[in-house]
Structure formats: C-alpha cells, structure tokens
Chain A
Amino acid sequence: MLEIKNLHVTVGGKEILKGLNLSIAAGQVHAIMGPNGSGKSTLSYILAGRAGYEITEGSITYNGEDLGAMPPEQRAAKGVFLAMQYPVEIPGVTTMMFLKSALNAQRRGRGEKELDAIGVLKTVRAKAATLNVSEDMLKRALNVGFSGGEKKRLEILQMSLFEPKLAILDETDSGLDIDALRLVAEGVNALRDPSRAMLVITHYQRLLDYIVPDRIHVLAKGRIVAEGGKELALELEAKGYDQIVKDAA
C-alpha cells in the first residue's frame, strides 16, 4: 500500500530525512521508533503533505500513485489520515460542525454524495460513545479547552469516522495517563482491518504494549537504522537508542 524509496526531505533548507526506505502492506501495523530529532514528525508531515516540507529526492507511492504530488486535502480524500501530536484549536467552530464539514469534504473529493446533518450526527454519536467522547465535547469549539486526553480521543474518533486506508499516529501516547492511553489504544485496535495499514510513531515502548505492531523500524538521523518484530521494542527499552544506533552503524 505504501512504498517509500530513498526519501530525502528538507525543511527550511535543512535536510531531515536522508534516504528513508519503508514499505507497508494493507492489514499491517508498523511502528516507527526513534530518539528526539530523528525525523519522526517530519515523516508524518511529509506523508500528510504539510506546506514547507520538500521532497528533494526519492519517492512516496501510495496505492500505485505518487503521493508527493497530491495536495493534502486530496490525500485525505484518498484515505490518508494523520492523528496529530498537537491537535489544533479552532475557536468558534463546534467539533460537530468541523466533523461534518471534513467528512463531507472527503466524500466530495471522492465523488460521493454528501451526508445530511442528521446522518452525520447519528454516525458520530455512535462512534463517540465507544471512545468516551461526550455530547458536550461535540458541542464545544474544536479542541478549545480540551484536556490532552480529550484531544487525543477526538483524533481517534475522527480516524474512526473517516475510515482511512492509511492511518498515521504521531506520538499519540504523548501527554496521556495510563487510563487514557488504554482507551486510545483500544480505539486504534478496533480499527485494525485487513484493508487498512497503520503507522504508529512513538518515542516510548509503552504504547506498543497496547498496540502490538507487526513490524518495528528504528529511525535515527533521517534513516531507518534497524528493523525487527515486536521484540525489538523490548530490546530498545533495555539498551536505549544510543546502543541500537551504534550497533547498526
């Protein structure tokens, strides 16, 4: 589904990703681990198409198409979803209003019929209940005054609502206590599906106790330096990034 080859990415003239290779098949969950400054967030942004992130070499192929050439909203319509580390606040726009606008924008982008307000409301309410997203949160302005846990639960709610083909979770565990982490992980696990690929980006091994990946890649200095099964996470936890990076060199 996703094929990244020799990817070089610069941000503000500085090269952050330096020849990254990665491939994920449908139905699989891969994890990217790495120390601070290794390029984890850059990878998530370049996949989502954030302005200011430039591919200087290499390619990203998504379901046979050149992902790098698509504007971000088209990627979203084609099923790319990025659960963000820091979800933004939009004052004055209710969460429900935002969900409806986004869902229908994606449907339009795919040439599908838009859903009416009642249709969206029903779908959202059903999904919200399982993620402990309250009716009150849906009525409040998007992410305004939400706690860290509420913001992350809302990201997972959106993921569940939009039903993406490729879901990227950028440090979804950051700022969560253990109960919130469990709830979010349950939400993610419920979305595991043979037609869906997931890329879980995390700094700590902790999240991977709850979301067990098929494969783990260690990112350091803009490249994948080690790969393995789920046991690699435990090795990392024991040895630390420095040792693994050194071993790989």
Chain B
Amino acid sequence: MSSAAADTKNTVAAIGEKYKYGFVTDIEMEKAPKGLSEDTVRFVSAKKGEPQWMLDWRLGAFRRWGEMKEPNWARVHYPKIDYQNAYYYAAPKNTPLKQSLDEVDPKLLETYKKLGIPLNEQMALAGVAVDAVFDSVSVATTFKDKLNEVGVIFCPISEAIRDYPDLVKQYLGTVVPVTDNFFATLNAAVFTDGTFVYVPKGVRCPMELSTYFRINASETGQFERTLIIADEGSYVSYLEGCTAPKRDENQLHAAVVELVALEGAEIKYSTVQNWYPGDENGLGGIYNFVTKRGDCRGDRSKISWTQVETGSAITWKYPSCILRGDGSVGEFYSIAIANHYQQADTGTKMIHLGKNTRSRIISKGISAGKAQNTYRGQVSVYGKAEDARNFTQCDSLLIGGDCGAHTVPYIESRNPTARIEHEATTSKIADDQLFYCLQRGLGQEEAVALIVNGFCKEVLQQLPMEFAVEAQKLVGISLEGSVG
C-alpha cells in the first residue's frame, strides 16, 4: 500500500480500530446452570427477588414457548441454535438487588469508562442519564434521584417489578403479547434485565435517557426487556447502545421492547446497535433477534424509532408502531449496514387503526463485502382508519459486486381514503464519485465514509446531537476494508 493510502487508513483506524469494543472484562461471575428448563426460569426469577405473579407469568410463557417453532421467513441463514447449550443468567458475583453508584465494582466502572460511558455522574455526558446493563443484570443507573424530582421513574426493570408492581402489571406484555413470536416468548420466560421508564402526565423528561447493554460472559444469551410508558402529554427521548467482546462463537441476544404513548405523548427511541459483527470471514458475532413495538394508544400521540444498525452477525428486527389513537404518528428512520458476511433483515410495521393516522418510513440499507441486507416493511390500513397516510422511502447502496440488497414491502389497505406512497432506489457508489474524492485528496476509506454518510444523512439527523457524531464515525468504521 502506498504511504498516502496507509496514512488514510491509520487516520480512520485512529477513530476506532476495526471493532474497538471487543475486549473482555475479567470479573467473577455467577451463572445459572447451563441449559433451559422450568428450573432456569425459577432460578432467574428468584435471583431477581420477584413476586409470585411475575414467576407465574414467566412460567406461562415458558410452557407456550415449548409449543412454538422458530420463524424461518426472514432472509437470513444460520445453523440450528441449541437452546440447551447456553447460559441464561450471568451476573457479576455479589451484585445486590439494589446498589448505589459508589458501591459498584470498580472493574465495572472501568469497563463502561472504556466503552465511552462514564457512570460517575460528574464525568457523565451532560444531560444524559444511563442505565448500565452487564450481561443479565443492571449494574448502575445514573441521575435516578434527579429524575425522581420531576416524577420520572428511570430504573432497571427488575427493580420496577419489585417497587412499582401496579404499573408493570398494567402495561407489561400489552404491546408485545407473551406469545407474539418465538423469540419474544422466549424472552418473556427468561428475560433478565432492561430498563423501565415512566414519564408522568404533562412532564417533559429533562434529560436524555439511555441504556447501555454489554454482553461480557461467553456462551451466554442476553434477554433484555424494556418498557417505556409516556403518560398523557409527556415527552421522552431514549437511546440504547450495545457492544460485546470478540468471540468465535455466536451469542444470542433476544430482546423485547414495549413502548406505550398515551394521549398527546411523544416517545423518541434511538438505537445505535454495535454488537460484535463477527470477523471478516463470518466467524462469530451476535445473533440479534429482537421484537420492538410501540403503541400509540392515545389520540395525537407519536412514536419515533431511529436505528443505526452496524453490528451483529445477524439482525432480525422490525421496530413497529400501532397507530391506535386518532391523529397519532409513527416514524421509522433506519440505517442498516452489513459488511463482510453480516446478514440483516430489518424494517418496520406501521399498523394504522385510528383516523388521520400518519406514518413515515425512511430506510437506508448499505451492503458491502459478501453481506446480504433486506428491508422488510409492512404498512396496514384498517377499515376505520379514515384518511390514513404513509410515506415510505427505501434506498439501498451497494459497495462492490458480491453483496446483495433486497426490498420486501407488504402493503394492505382496507380503507379507500388511505394514501400510501412507496419509493425505492438502489444505487452503487459510482467510480466517478470515488475518483472525484480521491483527486481532491481523500483516501479510499475516507471517501467511502463521506459518500455513505451523505447517503444516510436524513436518518443521522434524527439522532440526539450527543450521539450523532459517534454514529457518523461508526458508519465509516463499519465499512472499513469494503473497497479496493
């Protein structure tokens, strides 16, 4: 390689090595016995100090799961998962049910610092509260007290089950039913931790809320469960980030996220997903099989999903909106990047039930290497949804000749007043674009990152400012080695 090309590569590398989150934290762990049975479910529930109703709910889910089949309609291929050959609970030893920030094991604080998420409130990003989930347990939650002052509940879901059982009972499983799908049902049985948010009536949450999910233990699945409720007229913006160590094995991450927006409420949910994607030969990486759904339950409510999906060996994920309330609005902004042997099958569902409901879908798929990237989206307008409107724009960008981009839209309308628009484009990074950039001094990878960031701009703009810059860099890093 020439020195200029090498310089550029170093510059890009300086932003972050290929996968800079691939380290392992050496900490003593406590695990459930390997495998999955009723005993595993009881073990998890007991570890969390859960009431009987919660255990019953889990056991019910586990029995149903035994009768279900793994879905196979997605455009992804992987060897059969042996559900008995994994751990379903792993937590740092001696993690109490509740601990304050200064009681947290310094090794864990160090880990999050290394990930760029300082948990010390003085050092933290101004205006961002963090719930840190490490394998199966939340290890720290910042700014809880400050949020409490305005009535916002922001805590690990296992804590909410103990401390706010009425709220949890009222909403858990009402957006994603226990038997929704194979992975969601599995999650209902063995979910370990995740975040619970309740924003009371009329409150605009004063901080960005976020959860940082970290898989650390080997041969362990992570089953997060997140529940966010925005009461009437409230607003909350929430962001999640995820990383995992580099390993040759595939690890399962099967999450369920439920959002409920009551009358006039707005939830903005952003994801920067950077699970370990596997190496350039497709060895290792996370299987990210996730069910995310929001219910615009009240009139004039709004739910907006923004996702930047750069990691995982396989992504199977369709953050959706049920537009139940009249005049409610659903949005989905997505960037999905698949490089090397990654497979992504992702998109959304917009279910229009109420009158004058509106939805907007902007999807940007980028494929490089030998990756396959599928957009799968459903827009349904039901009989009573007078004057429903949808706009979908679905753009694919190909880098190199060995990758694939696929668009699978399902559109169904049972109301003649509905207006549904679907636009789709597929393009390649043109040789003349690349040459133009090189001629002006940009290196190959810098040029690709610039062009791709331009391609994704509409979506990147949707991210909270604190994270937009990180996401832009991530886009560049994920495509390293995709050209030349």
Interface residues of A (CB under 8 A from B): 48-52, 70-77, 81-82, 84, 86-93, 97-98, 101-103, 105-106, 108-109, 141, 158, 162
Contacts and interface: CB of A to CB of B under 8 A. Distances in A.
B3 A72 contact: no
A159 to B, nearest CB: 11
Contacts of A84: 436, 439
Nearest to B1: A71
Contact of A74 (B3, B431, B451): B3
B450 A70 contact: no
Contacts of B457: 92-93
B456 interface: yes
Given A48-B435, A93-B450, 11 more contacts: A49-B438, A49-B439, A73-B4, A74-B4, A74-B5, A90-B454, A93-B454, A98-B450, A101-B446, A105-B443, A108-B7
Residue from B430, B432, B439, B454 whose CB has the most chain A CB atoms within 10 Å: B439
Given A70-B4, A74-B4, A93 B453 contact: yes
Interface size class of B (residues with CB under 8 A): 20 to 34
Given A71-B5, A105-B8, A92 B441 contact: no
Interface string B137-153: 00000000000000000
Interface string B420-445: 00000000001111011111111110
Contacts of B440: 76, 98, 102, 105-106, 158, 162
9 contacts: A77-B441, A81-B439, A91-B454, A92-B458, A93-B454, A98-B440, A101-B446, A102-B437, A109-B441
Contacts of A51: 431, 435
Nearest to A168: B439
Nearest to A111: B7
B281 interface: no
Shortest Cβ-Cβ A-B pairs, 6 listed: A92-B454, A74-B4, A93-B454, A106-B441, A92-B457, A76-B441
Contacts of A105: 8, 440-443, 446
A72 B439 CA distance: 6
A76 B438 CA distance: 8
A88 B433 contact: yes
A41 B475 CA distance: 34
B4 to A, nearest CB: 3
Given A73-B8, A93-B453, A141-B454, A88 B436 contact: yes
A70 B438 CA distance: 12
Contact of B442 (A48, A50, A101): A101
Contacts of A90: 433, 436-437, 450-451, 454
A148 B336 CA distance: 35
Contacts of B393: none
A92 B453 contact: yes
Nearest to A70: B2
A92 B442 contact: no
Contacts of A89: 433
Contacts of B443: 73, 105
B455 interface: yes
A102 B441 contact: yes
Nearest to B449: A101
